[in-house]
Structure 1
Amino acid sequence: MGIEIEDKFDVPRDYALPDLNDLATDVIGPKSYQLVALYYDTPDLRLAARGVTLRRRRGGDDAGWHLKLPKAKGVRQEIAVPLTRTTRAVPPELAELVRAYTRGAELEVVAELDTRRSVTVLREGETRLLELADDNVKAIDRREGGRVLRWREVEAELIDENQRTLLAKVGKRLRKSGAEPSEAASKLAKLLRPAPPPLARCEPGSAGEVVLAYLASQVDALLSQDPRVRRAEDDAVHQMRVACRRLRSALKAFKTVVTGTEQVQDELRRLGDVLGEARDLEVIRARFGERLAGLPPELIVGPVQERLGADLLARERDAYERIKDTLSGERYYTLLNDLDALLAGPTLGKAAPMPAKERLAAIAADNWSRVTKAYDRARTVEDPERRETAMHDVRKAAKRARYTAEALSPTLGKDMVKLAGRAEDIQEVLGAHQDGVVAQETLIEEAERARRAGEDTFTYGLLVGIERDLAARAHDDFPEVWAETVKAVEKLL
């Protein structure tokens, strides 16, 4: 697996590469290759529409199967597996990673590219910095008609991702010599010209336009994390869960802009709960590991490290299996289809045609008001257990206010950035308290298991005391943070 950072340029057939010798210690090449690649997609090009490329390539020094997933403009994650003999079936491990896009549809060959490539490498000593590929391409659309295109292009790809300045210098040199930045994200896109996922059109500058654009960005975020979750990559579950929460929060907050989304919200909540189980175990296992690492060895009595490490890890792995089952189910695919349908043909509410700045600022203020009302209610609750629940509601309201403000910051500017930061302050203090309470509950459960097994529970009690102290400190800090936040938000709203 690697990260591909490149700039692509269209050039005429008689184009001459500029001199690059002054940009690196050594300029090696050119070296020529013949590359033949088959590209796989669904008949309606679901991968290409999302900027995903899946190919089987022969020739060159990286022959094999390659899956390229978009991460940012000009940046893609590449996953490679060795070349197989058959061209009929995509390797199962790669087919699994694109299921959020295919959703049960069959993968087939949609294009064939025959490329005569000339490669020049820029180096500093033995370190390869950048590769320049000069490609003469013959591309065949393998669907009906068999359309053929021929063109020449140049790709400048970083080998050392810390050399972005070098990439910019090479790009400038190429443009000066007549190269034009390519409008197509890939060779496949240039051939097939896939239509992007449909997005309903709203009046420019309207609340509907802003909200739909934000929802589309979060659907993209959700989809982009799906392959990473399937590979159990670091932080992927957390990021996918955040995308679920942001989508659900936006659908709630902007219900007067986009209406009738209750079922989608329920399914997003369900998906978030499945992701949350593994994420919460991951976080609490790391938390206990940090706590134990800070204790003197003589205070760690019995197999506490195994119970709070290996046992929780086993539960976390079980939770990951439930995630994989969920991501492979028809209910999940139905949710993704419903999200696509929502973006393509939403039911717009009365606020959708209103000017964005006017209407959305009011929505941001309303969402902050929900936070203050939740805290007012919590302060009237005397029962400690019910008060914990009420304060958790304050935290949830603060999170929604934060997500709403973040969604609106590109349109409404720095005041929304500041509001999001203030809401996050509330969320973090209450979160620290809640995390301490949950940690205590988990420790007490594990201590009971240890006691039944005849183990010494001294260390569990010590850890409970530490977590209780941290939760109490967060509880005591909250009134001051609240007072500062309310004062600051009054100036913003």
Structure 2
Amino acid sequence: MSATTDEQTTLTFRGPAEASIPPVAGLPGVHGDEAAPARVLEVERYDTADLRLAAAGVTVSVLRDDSPARWELHTPGDGDPLHLPVDPDAAPGARLPLPAGIAELVRGAARGRNVRPVGRVRTTRTEHRLLDESGARLATVVHDHVTLSTLGRSTEVEAWTEVAIDAPPALRPALADRAAEAGLRRAEPCGEAELTRLLRPARPERARPSEKRAGGALVAYLAKHNDRLAAEDLRVRRGEPDSVHQLRVAARRLRSALQGHRRLLDRERTDPLVEGLRRLGQALAPARDAQVQRERVLAGLAELPDELRLGGAAAVANRYFARIESESNAAALTALDSVEYVRLREQLDELVAAPPLRKRAAKKAKKELPRHVAKQQRRFAARVEHALDPELPPERRDIAMHEARKAGKRLRYVAEVARPAVGKPAKRYAKAVKGIQQALGEHQDTVVSRGTLRSLGALAHTDGENGFAFGVLHGHDTARAAAVEAELPELWRQASRRKLRRWME
């Protein structure tokens, strides 16, 4: 209950723990004071001993008030929090185990540590109704005695009084004066906010290198996408749309930045991270591929004329993908719950907090980073030119296209590191590379899709359905792959123009 504008009628005050309700005797228009029975409200915060949930922007609480006791989970970017009931058979005041639904969601942030009570806010509330001469409510004064305590290795206890006054404008000045006489001063309610402040993990004071230097620009990029990785971990565990894809993208950006800037960092520290990020991407790939292929196949079926969409093709596809997605999503969550993943996250945090920069990292970002982009550009060019070789056997062209696509992604992400220092030239170049990379991605989608469509056609036949529609889509994807291959030389010519690459020289 707080107010900040003249239209609002609630004033809030704070004072020492022993402060009582402001005296109301003799106030104009007040003829009675009716007190309701005292109530106890409690918020108990759960976290790891080293406050890893708080560091990740996650809060887990048990709420006890007039409603049945319940768990509450807030995660970054949430709308409404998640609520789950507390086991009604739990002993009062007992330490509660996290419900499975919350434990699964916070596992990535907890990093294998035990989650237990770390703080509590207990409020003893008494509500007074001020009555006019007819006995109707004229105003309400809520008196809260607040006790805050941290739990665990470090214990801190605070206590104070808060008073909220809901009164008509004519009565507010007199009540404010009475509150001041009782030793209360205007303030916002702060029980949970104060607990959050006390449970905020201490961050070591480390000077981050200047982003005008190559190492500083790289560390800023790594820190940004390490935070993105943590955010998408929570979204994957919540089953949110596109979360697996975004988690893979964050991992790929981190890996590409580490691979493309090896000369700036101690490779004894970074090479294991590159390998760990690669394995993470591989573990997430089936879930993402299944999602992409389902959307592609169902969209293709929907676009077919009725005379070509024979039998229950969509039902066959949905059954096929439901099984694959269920298995691949379970495998992705298993990877996120693994010891290897926990260690990877810790190593990434350590890398950002104390980057193992080499001497070269002290060079100016605007001078040094373009050299790293140029190296990746040469690598990408070699792979594209190999894929466009007219002498390349057809059975090897798909593989060559895929290798070029992966090299293009790394180039784009390495160029992103340089963009803040270089500005528009790097942005224009990244946009040009994105065009050819998207074409290569479309080609790879047709390669995967054609294999999936063959499987769907065989499944339809086994189920007694007509698989003709899948054959039609296979023909469409074959034609699309050929069209992309025909477009690539011109796309490459546009993307490799020297004026786009001059900033790298």
2:109 aligns with one of 84, 101, 106: 101
Q: Is the 8 A contact 2:56 2:230 kept in 1?
A: no
The whole-number CA distance in structure 1 between the counterparts of 2:40 and 2:455 is 63
Is 1:474 matched up with 2:484? yes
Displacement of 1:117 in angstroms is 9.7
CA change 1:138–1:366 in 2 (3 A) is: farther
- Aligned equivalents of 1:242 and 1:136: distance in 2? 49
Q: Does 1:298 align with 2:304?
A: no
Shift of 1:20: 5.5
Summarize the alignment of residues 5-404 of structure 1 with structure 2, pairs less than 5 Å apart: 17-19=3-5, 21=7, 35-59=41-65, 64-71=70-77, 78-85=81-88, 86=90, 87-114=95-122, 138-149=147-158, 186-196=193-203, 201-202=208-209, 205-260=212-267, 261-380=270-389, 381-404=391-414
Q: CA deviation at 1:348?
A: 2.3
Q: Give CA deviations for 1:63-92 in whole Å, capped at 9, x if unaligned.
A: 631122223xxx777322234444422212
Structure 2: how far apart are the matches of 1:56 and 1:47? 15
Distance 1:408 1:137 in 2: 52
Residues 200 and 343 in structure 1, CA contact (< 8 A), matched pair in contact too: no
Question: Aligned equivalents of 1:411 and 1:76: distance in 2?
Answer: 36
Q: Secondary structure at the match of 2:360?
A: coil
What CA deviation, in whole Å up to 9, does each residue of 1:178-211 have, x standing for no partner?
999x9x9954441133124786743563222221
Counterpart residue type for residue 349 of structure 1: R
Could you say which structure has the greater relative contact order, defined with CA pairs below 8 angstroms and 6 or more residues apart? Answer: 2
Q: Deviation of residue 239 (structure 1)? A: 0.9
| 1:137 CA displacement | 5.9
Structure 1 distance, partners of 2:256, 2:338, is 24
Decide whether aligned partners of structure 1 residues 41 and 284 sit closer, same or farther in structure 2, where only a CA change above 3 A counts.
same
Amino acid paired to 2:213: S
The alpha-carbon deviation at position 306 of structure 1 amounts to 2.3
CA displacement 1:344-396 (0-9 Å, x = unmatched): 34432332222222211222232223222222333335212222222222211
Q: SS of 2:363's equivalent?
A: coil
Q: Which structure has the greater CA radius of gyration?
A: 2
Is 1:440 matched with 2:443? Answer: no
Q: How many residues align?
A: 435
User: Which AA in structure 1 matches 2:81?
Assistant: E
Considering only aligned residues, what root-mean-square deviation do their CA atoms show, in Å? 3.6
Question: Cα offset for 1:445?
Answer: 2.4
Work out which of the residue numbers 420, 425, 432 in structure 2 matches 1:415: 425
- 3-state SS in 2 of match to 1:105: coil
**C-alpha distance in structure 2 between counterparts of 1:470 and 1:340, whole Å:** 43
Contact preservation (8 Å) 2:211, 2:220: no
- The one-letter amino acid paired with 2:44 is L
**Are the equivalent residues in 1 in contact too, given 2:365–2:418 (CA < 8 A)?**
no
- Kept in 1: contact 2:144–2:161 (CA 8 A): yes
Q: Which amino acid is 2:56 matched to? A: R
97 and 244 in structure 1: CA distance in 2 versus 1, 3 angstrom threshold: same
Secondary structure (helix, strand or coil) at the match of 1:40 reads strand
Q: Distance in 2 between matches of 1:424 and 1:96?
A: 36
Shift, 1:245, TM fit? 0.7
1:230-283 per-residue CA deviation (whole Å, 9 max, x = no partner) reads 222111111111111111111101111123222221121111112110111111
- Distance between the aligned counterparts of 1:283 and 1:135, measured in 2? 55
Cα distance between partner residues in 2 of 1:270 and 1:448:
32
Inter-CA distance 191–433: structure 2 relative to 1 (3 Å threshold): same
Which 10-residue stretch deviates more, 415-424 or 284-293? 415-424
1:452–1:59: structure 2 CA closer, same or farther, 3 Å change rule? Answer: closer
Cα distance, 1:94 vs structure 2: 0.8
Letter in 2 for 1:354: K
Equivalent-residue separation in structure 2 for 1:241 and 1:367 (angstroms)? 21
1:116 is displaced (CA, Å) by 8.1
CA distance in 1, matches of 2:382, 2:409: 14
Report the Cα offset of residue 309 of structure 1. 1.6
- TM-score of the two chains, using structure 2 as the length reference: 0.76
User: Residue 47 of structure 2 aligns to which amino acid in structure 1?
Assistant: D
Matched position secondary structure for 2:387: helix
Question: Which is further off, 193-202 or 360-369?
Answer: 193-202
Q: 1:453 to 1:145 in 2, by over 3 A?
A: closer
- 1:200–1:346: 8 Å Cα contact kept in structure 2? no
Q: Report the equivalent of 2:136.
A: none
Q: Which residue number in structure 2 is paired with residue 165 of structure 1?
A: none
What is the identity, as a one-letter code, of the residue corresponding to 2:233? D
Q: CA 1:243–1:193 in structure 2 vs 1: closer, same or farther (change >3 Å)?
A: same
Distance 2:239 2:485 in 1: 35
Amino acid at match of 1:19: T
Go from structure 1 to structure 2 and tell me whether the alpha carbon gap of 1:326 and 1:456 turns closer, same or farther (over 3 Å shift). same
Query: Unmatched 5+ residue regions in structure 1?
Result: 1-14, 22-26, 119-133, 154-177
Q: Distance in 2 between matches of 1:437 and 1:145?
A: 59
Aligned counterparts of 1:198 and 1:466: Cα–Cα separation in 2: 58
Q: Distance in 1 between matches of 2:422 and 2:159?
A: 46
| % identical equivalent positions | 36
TM-score by length of 1: 0.78
Say if 1:460 and 1:35 are closer, same or farther in 2 by CA, change over 3 A: same
User: Contact 1:200–1:344 (CA<8 Å) still a contact in 2?
Assistant: no
Of residues 479, 489, 492, the one that matches 2:500 is 489
Tell me the residue number matched to 2:25.
none
Question: In the alignment, residue 342 of structure 2 is paired with which amino acid?
Answer: Y
Match of 1:347, SS state, is coil
Structure with the bigger percentage of strand = 1
Paired letter, 1:140: S
